[in-house]
Structure 1
Amino acid sequence: MPDIAPTSQADYAPQSLTDLLNDVADLNDHATKPPTLQTVLHAFGRAGVLPVLITVALIVVSPLSGIPLLSSFAGLTIAGIALQLAAGRNSLWLPKWLCQRSVPRDRLARAVDKLRPLARFLDRQSRPRLRVLTDPPMSRVLLLLCGLGGLAMPFMELLPFSSSLMAMAVVLTGFAILTRDGLWAIVAGVPMTLALGVILTAGTAATAAL
């Protein structure tokens, strides 16, 4: 998958989480079968890669995170997208087996509905500020952190809430870059720290049990 979208979609990108969820809902409603990651990437276009990153992370924040291995696939997708964005790539490559992953339409619809209150709250609280944290080169540092968080998520599959906390950190970081609101980049450190705390606690407990 060397190119993520046709040129005709290059200038489009949702500007808020509410718009993003509306676009995902429309795509899900009009699809003849469960939309795959590749379908979503092509629908959003090149300018929509960051919103797709946020969408994947939102899925893990939602009740869909209970689907076995979903957090692992989502984490690898987040890592693949974020690390390539951080490297400044103009096109996106992901393995075919990841691009063909999908979520059942009814579950995706319910997840979107449950995420709408969170999206509306974040949208109301955002405005351009502390842009030094969301403009290059800091934006690439933030994307690198998202990528590393995504790589950690497959290892967090069995730790309750940890993958959702890491995904929430990715959502807030992507949201900060999308809306040019550096405050949310700072807030993203809270769920990321909590997720790392869960990992360290579990690791310490496992070591003590040996």
Structure 2
Amino acid sequence: MHRLLIAAAFALPLLAGCAGDPDDIRNRPLGPNPSAFIAAEIGFARLAQDKGQWTAFRETSAPEAVMFVPQRVKARDWLKAQKDPAEAVKWQPHAVYVSCDGNAGATTGAWQKGATHGFFTTVWLRDSRSGKMGWILDHGDGLTSPREAPEFIASKQAVCGSRPAVPIEAGGEGADMAVGLSPDQTLSWTSTVRPDRSRRVTIRLWDGKDMATVIDDRVAAPKQP
């Protein structure tokens, strides 16, 4: 069973940056804050339990959000027709990866529903002016063995400094591929849905030399009835 979805929008307090006139906070850029992405994911999961699974997805999605069912769909369009299940899926973040400027992040972790379990990955964006955070991509899949929860949620931020070159990728014949970038281009996400509806979601983080792969999720094609 999939956690067939794509991330959520949450208004959260954000850390101010150090640059600009120290006497004028309005000129300070938003600073990187990995805990804000973790809090958004936890809040998203809590909202699903409190108000219903698809209600939480509708209320927290960014306008451009996509999800996989298993083909790629615009989340808000697909969610319009969905009714909340009696039991909402539960999930917990295990790791977070954040762009240098703190305006994009990817969380990944585990989900459970009844006797089933699996993994998920969510990509988040926050508005540089309002600080409002919302999910723009979410996907997941079932697992035969549950992911073991870590003692602490892992956190990693992209290296700041020189801007990396945007990698050029090409999907296979007939594949539906999309690439997203953080505003500073230090975090990227590539999602590919093949003609058999298998897919791959890859998250990369700038390490000062390369866009290093930090998440590489692969989902098999659905079984034919």
TM-score (norm 2): 0.36
TM-score (norm 1): 0.37
Q: When you count helix as a share of all residues, which structure comes out higher?
A: 1
Q: Which of the pair has more CA radius of gyration?
A: 2
